[in-house]
Amino acid sequence: MDLIEKIKNRIRLNQEEGEALYELDLFTLGELADEIRTEKFGKKSYFNINRHINPTNVCADICKFCAYSASRKNPNQYTMSHEEILAIVDNSVSLGAKEMHIVSAHNPNDGVEWYMGAFRKIKEKYPKLHVKAMTAAEIDFLTREYGISYDEVLDLMIESGVDSMPGGGAEIFDEKVREYLCKGKVTSEQWLDIHKKWHERGKESNATMLFGHVESRANRIDHMIRLRNLQDITGGFNAFIPLVYQRDNNFLKVKDFPTGQEILKTYAISRIMLDNIPHLKAYWVTASINLALIAQEFGADDLDGTIEKESIQSAAGAKSSHGMNLEEFVALIKNSGFTPVERDSLYNELRVYE
């Protein structure tokens, strides 16, 4: 049976077959991915009204691709107090935000209580607000810095009101590439183990893949298969988010930036390979809003959200520092031929914009 027949018959592909997908032309891949997307979600494109908060940029780890960390090129260090974080939350809730997406650098000057106390205070004030916080990389940092186990950190997160985990810190799982990109940070095995433990607690998370830097196509397929294998065991991943590498203000010095075609192929291949992760997110922050809208035709069914403000990707050149206006976001999705659906953080539908 040839590759296209296998896909049409929903037969799972292996590493070699996954790599071969890149040899197919863009429109064939798009058609195959769109068929799977339509089967699952029709013309619905999901988004949420969320706010990204990045409470500190002081970082103990050194990642070559990062433009956000203050311990390298950025001399403007900051760490928010709980009061400052709550003031942002108050304002965002007044504007309709239903999710706080809280991701930080790995600040060695702030203890576990700085993290957990912030979550508790948010939940005490807004018990129905969804708190998505703490990447596996942050969890690993806390265990290294304070000598506590992954289990202890995860239990503290739940006690403090964290509802779900973002997928950051995955980067690329291939160990050689990872050593070059972010030596000393959470390993691929540790990242997967942390998410497994989180899922075993009945909680859900996302998964990411940073691509378009020094990794190979084979590395991307390997990354997807490792996620697919864990999802077979736990079923805890909500969405897969291929993050397009941002090239400004960092130490990676990538010369060959991926073309729009390569990015769209990677979205389509993600939809085909990851048959057990329901949602594929075209995170407009890294892909650009225009390419994210096109990605809806290549398997993506989610565009993340309005985000309001974002500091990490925009530090590396993404045009996301001030988020996206809700009315504009809805209009863009409609004009691209899809139906905007506001969702909550766990993909329950809140409002369909017909």
Q: Which residue has the tokens 């993909």?
A: 347
pLDDT value for 65? 45
Which residue type does 279 have? H
Give the strands of the sheet with 339-343, arranged side by side: 302-305, 44-48, 339-343, 349-352
Comparing 283 with 314, the larger pLDDT belongs to: 283
> In 3D, which of 232, 214, 259, 224 has the Cα closest to residue 26?
259
Is the per-residue pLDDT at 317 higher than 50?
no
**CB contact set of 308 (below 8 Å; sequence gap of 6+):** 50, 51, 52, 92, 95, 97, 322, 323
Binned at pLDDT 50, 70 and 90, residue 307 comes out as low
**306, 47 Cβ separation under 8 angstroms:** yes
Is the per-residue pLDDT at 262 higher than 80?
yes
**CB contact set of 142 (below 8 Å; sequence gap of 6+):** 112, 115, 148, 153
Please give the domain boundaries of the chain with CATH numbers for all domains.
Answer: 14-336 (3.20.20.70)
pLDDT value for 54? 87
148 by Cβ neighbours in 10 Å (0-12 / 13-18 / 19+) ranks as: middle
60-93 pLDDT, tens per residue? 555 444 544 555 555 677 788 999 999 999 999 9
325-334 pLDDT, tens per residue? 888 889 999 9
Is the per-residue pLDDT at 252 higher than 80?
no
The encoded tokens of residue 142 equal 């806390």
What share of residues in the chain are helix, strand, coil (percent, to 5)? 45, 15, 40
**317, 247 Cβ separation under 8 angstroms:** yes
**Cα–Cα distance for residue pair 346/318, rounded to 1 Å:** 26
Is the per-residue pLDDT at 121 higher than 90?
yes
Question: E-strand spans in 186-329?
Answer: 204-211, 237-244, 279-280, 302-305
pLDDT value for 351? 95
Comparing 254 with 105, the larger pLDDT belongs to: 105
HSE (side-chain half, CA atoms, 13 Å) at 167: 24
Whether the model clears a pTM of 0.85, i.e. scores above it, the answer is yes
Q: Which residue has the tokens 């993600």?
A: 270
Binned at pLDDT 50, 70 and 90, residue 206 comes out as very high
CB atoms within 10 A of CB 184: 12
Average pLDDT over residues 29-45: 98
Average pLDDT over residues 286-304: 91
Q: How many Å from the N-terminal Cα to the C-terminal Cα in the chain?
A: 41
Is the per-residue pLDDT at 143 higher than 50?
yes
Average pLDDT over residues 44-62: 81
Instruction: Output the CA–CA distances (angstroms, integers) from residue 26 to 177, 263, 303, in the order listed.
Output: 27, 10, 21
Q: Distance from CA of residue 258 to its chain's centroid?
A: 19
